[in-house]
Amino acid sequence: MPKDNTAVQIDVWAPAAGTVQLVSADGTAPMTSGDAGWWHGTLAGAPDGVDYGFLVDGTGPFPDPRSRRQPHGVHDLSRTFDPAAHAWQDDGWTGRQLAGATIYELHIGTFTPEGTLEAAAGRLDHLVSLGVDFVELLPVNGFNGTHNWGYDGVLWYAVHEGYGGPAAYQRFVDACHAAGIGVIQDVVHNHLGPSGNYLPNFGPYLSDAEGNTWGASVNLDGQDSDEVRRYIIDSALMWLRDYHVDGLRLDAVHALKDHSAVHLLEQLAGEVAVLSASVGRPLTLIAESDLNDPLLITPREANGYGLDAQWSDDFHHAVHVALTGETAGYYADFAPLGALAKVLTRGFFHDGTQSTFRGRHHGRPVDTERMPAWRLVVASQNHDQIGNRAIGDRLSAQLDTGQLGIAAALTLLGPFTPMLFMGEEWGAHTPWQFFTSHPEPELGLATAEGRIGEFARMGWDPAVVPDPQDPATFERSKLDWSELQRGDSGRLLAFYRDLASLRRRLADLTDPRFARVAVAFDEAAGWLRLSRGETEIVINLSTSAQSVPVTGHSVLLAFANNADASLRLDAGQVLLPPHSVAVLG
């Protein structure tokens, strides 16, 4: 928005409108029609803090599709916000490369009791002590209600006011950079939430084609889709430029329906690369994809999309099954311990193999000779894999401390980019459940009934499925930081810190080549040995002690369920106590 001392230019795209009027405290004023469906007007006042909206063909007023601030919620007027007003303190920040980094995923509303960006900034010392390189924030853009996971956003340029709004977001990023931590923002471009989506009143933002799991698809390749694509890409560049964010996590890109010659993701990667060169720091794009297709992370020069990394849920599934024994649903194919071995050495388990859950072959192999392993982001727990369980139970609800230590070692010392979910580092016992706060009674009821019905079809007792609209569901999901005072929590946290430190110190653990990864295992005995060069990570999944052949001559780190348990290393064998892990070099 170009500005002077007395007025702000306001532009809005409404290609089919006959009239568009600008609404403010000064009344209603007509806007001027320009090229390519854009309308232009002038808003009297300073560039920051003036409320406004639009009447489109006499209906409205509607908030600005590119609104930076919604102080009264997504159904009310927008408020101007000047991102240049913030005095940035991060001039010395040169960014973070994803290779070799550790990510920490958190939800602003439940990370602290206060649920604000300011309160989250007050916990950065904890993340620094944990060896975190990036915080990944679940979506913070404008949604209806007071609390939500963030995936029901409808205003992609705004920061939820309950978290502190856009100015608080800038201060949070500044604080992260001062602490040496980069920021990755989770963004959703595949659908819009069910309440407060006024985009169709302005133009063809949504596709007439088949929708996706969450509703109507966004118009990426139909008539007038050029401006819709621009809307998405400009919002992505906004986070990276105006808020100094270091990377974006792109939600469910498999739901982006785009048949253009240049896919939206490829276009986005190209423009982000240009911005990265301009600002002089790395800017990272990470995709969440259900496709198991390395095309996403193949460089554009090799005819790929050129994204930096993508999630590998196969790692989560293999670790989860190995530790819990659950084999229902999509876990069925991961029952053999060999599934975990394959994921560790080849990246994907489903790489063209039969997926019994899908009833078809799925995925494509990773080119392990050329693709560095760090391009796959892995986790033993994340917001989806916990929150989409019927009662939102973490691994700590099923596993003992030793097993949690095994999950930590596989995640942090494996060849991939590790991501931790808030609280897992101390074995948090608070659940992370699905919660909403739709003000509309009918929408709240439909959400609750749909959630309960979904799990009832899967065999869960409907009585145990929390009501997402119940404020207690949200409150239960907040981290309880007092848990850190418990003995086992402190011991597990210390182990996480030791793992992160070891990962930084040992060259073997920073080598991204699949060729330097080897796995041996004994299905019946329940042990697995992950070799990364000369370093060996040996785990005992069994409830009895196991003797495992090794080549390492010294124990660098060890962790067992029983704090007093000891292991023996002798003559090429290590004797591991039940539910334990050892790192040898």
Over residues 156-182, the pLDDT tens digits come to 999 999 999 999 999 999 999 999 999
What percentage of residues in the chain have a pLDDT greater than 90? 90
CATH architecture of 507-584: Sandwich (2.60)
- Residue (of 363, 305, 354) closest to 333 by Cα position: 354
> How far is Cα 255 from Cα 507, in angstroms, rounded to an integer?
38
pLDDT tens-digit map of 291-307? 999 999 999 999 999 99
Whether the full predicted model's pTM is greater than 0.75, yes or no, is: yes
CA angle (90 as vertex; 85, 96 as ends), nearest 5: 130
Q: Say if residues 381 and 399 touch (Cβ distance below 8 Å).
A: no
pLDDT tens-digit map of 300-333? 999 999 999 999 999 999 999 999 999 998 999 9
Bridge partners (DSSP) of residue 418 are 378
Residue 316 annotated as lining a ligand binding site: yes
Average pLDDT of the residues of the chain: 95
Residue 385 annotated as lining a ligand binding site: yes
> So what's the pLDDT on residue 462?
82
Residue 251 annotated as lining a ligand binding site: yes
Active site (catalytic) residues: 251, 288
Mean of pLDDT values over 8-18: 96
Residue 252 annotated as lining a ligand binding site: yes
Rounded to the nearest 10 degrees, how much is the dihedral formed by the CA atoms of 346, 352, 353, 359? Answer: 140
Least confident of 73-82, 113-122, 209-218, 438-447: 209-218
- Max CA distance (Å), the chain: 86
> How far is Cα 530 from Cα 10, in angstroms, rounded to an integer?
58
Which helix (H) or strand (E) is 122 found in, with range? none
Residue 197 annotated as lining a ligand binding site: no
Q: Is 477's pLDDT higher than 50?
A: yes
What Rg do the C-alpha atoms of the chain give, in angstroms?
Answer: 25
Q: Judge residue 35's burial from the number of C-beta atoms within 10 Å of its C-beta, 0-12 exposed, 13-18 middle, 19 or more buried.
A: exposed
Q: How many CB atoms lie under 10 A from the CB of residue 348?
A: 22
Q: 3-state class of 244 per DSSP? A: coil
Q: Which residues of the chain does CATH 3.20.20.80 include?
A: 103-492
- Give the model's confidence band at 454: pLDDT under 50 very low, under 70 low, under 90 confident, else very high: confident
What single letter denotes the amino acid at residue 321?
Answer: V
Bridge partners (DSSP) of residue 104 are 135, 420
Q: Say if residues 474 and 109 touch (Cβ distance below 8 Å).
A: yes
Q: Is 4's pLDDT higher than 80?
A: no
Mean of pLDDT values over 266-290: 98
Q: Say if residues 562 and 540 touch (Cβ distance below 8 Å).
A: no
Q: Judge residue 254's burial from the number of C-beta atoms within 10 Å of its C-beta, 0-12 exposed, 13-18 middle, 19 or more buried.
A: middle
CATH architecture of 103-492: Alpha-Beta Barrel (3.20)
Beta strands of 127-226 (E only): which ranges? 134-137, 182-187
> So what's the pLDDT on residue 5?
58
- Residue (of 400, 398, 379, 388) closest to 435 by Cα position: 388
Token pair 């007093």: residue: 564
pLDDT tens-digit map of 100-159? 999 999 999 999 999 999 999 999 999 999 999 999 999 999 999 999 999 999 999 999
pLDDT tens-digit map of 553-568? 899 999 999 999 888 9
Q: Say if residues 63 and 81 touch (Cβ distance below 8 Å).
A: no
Residue 232 annotated as lining a ligand binding site: no
> How far is Cα 200 from Cα 306, in angstroms, rounded to an integer?
31
Q: Which residues of the chain does CATH 2.60.40.10 include?
A: 7-85
Query: For 99, how many CA atoms within 13 A lie in the half-sphere containing its CB?
Result: 9
How, if at all, do strands 417-421 and 103-106 pair?
Answer: parallel
pLDDT tens-digit map of 23-54? 999 999 999 999 999 999 999 877 789 999 99
Residue 253 annotated as lining a ligand binding site: yes
Q: Say if residues 195 and 440 touch (Cβ distance below 8 Å).
A: yes
Q: 3-state class of 488 per DSSP? A: helix
> So what's the pLDDT on residue 448?
83
- Give the model's confidence band at 348: pLDDT under 50 very low, under 70 low, under 90 confident, else very high: very high
> So what's the pLDDT on residue 2?
43
Q: 3-state class of 401 per DSSP? A: helix
Residue 386 annotated as lining a ligand binding site: yes
> So what's the pLDDT on residue 174?
98
Q: 3-state class of 46 per DSSP? A: coil
4 contact partners, CB below 8 Å, separation of at least 6: none
Residue 254 annotated as lining a ligand binding site: yes
Residue 314 annotated as lining a ligand binding site: yes
CATH number for the 7-85 domain, one of 3.30.1200.10, 2.60.40.10, 3.30.1490.20, 1.10.3720.10? 2.60.40.10
Residue 315 annotated as lining a ligand binding site: yes
- Give the model's confidence band at 461: pLDDT under 50 very low, under 70 low, under 90 confident, else very high: confident
Residue 317 annotated as lining a ligand binding site: yes
- Give the model's confidence band at 290: pLDDT under 50 very low, under 70 low, under 90 confident, else very high: very high
Mean of pLDDT values over 392-421: 98
Q: 3-state class of 212 per DSSP? A: strand
> How far is Cα 382 from Cα 138, in angstroms, rounded to an integer?
11
Residue 62 annotated as lining a ligand binding site: no
> How far is Cα 429 from Cα 300, in angstroms, rounded to an integer?
43
Q: Is 1's pLDDT higher than 60?
A: no
Q: Is 209's pLDDT higher than 80?
A: no
Q: Is 211's pLDDT higher than 80?
A: no
> How far is Cα 338 from Cα 65, in angstroms, rounded to an integer?
49
Q: Which residues of the chain does CATH 2.60.40.1180 include?
A: 507-584
> How far is Cα 69 from Cα 83, in angstroms, rounded to an integer?
11
Q: How many CB atoms lie under 10 A from the CB of residue 497?
A: 14
Q: Is 423's pLDDT higher than 80?
A: yes
Residue 242 annotated as lining a ligand binding site: no
> How far is Cα 355 from Cα 382, in angstroms, rounded to an integer?
22
What percentage of residues in the chain have a pLDDT greater than 70? 99
Q: Is 208's pLDDT higher than 80?
A: no
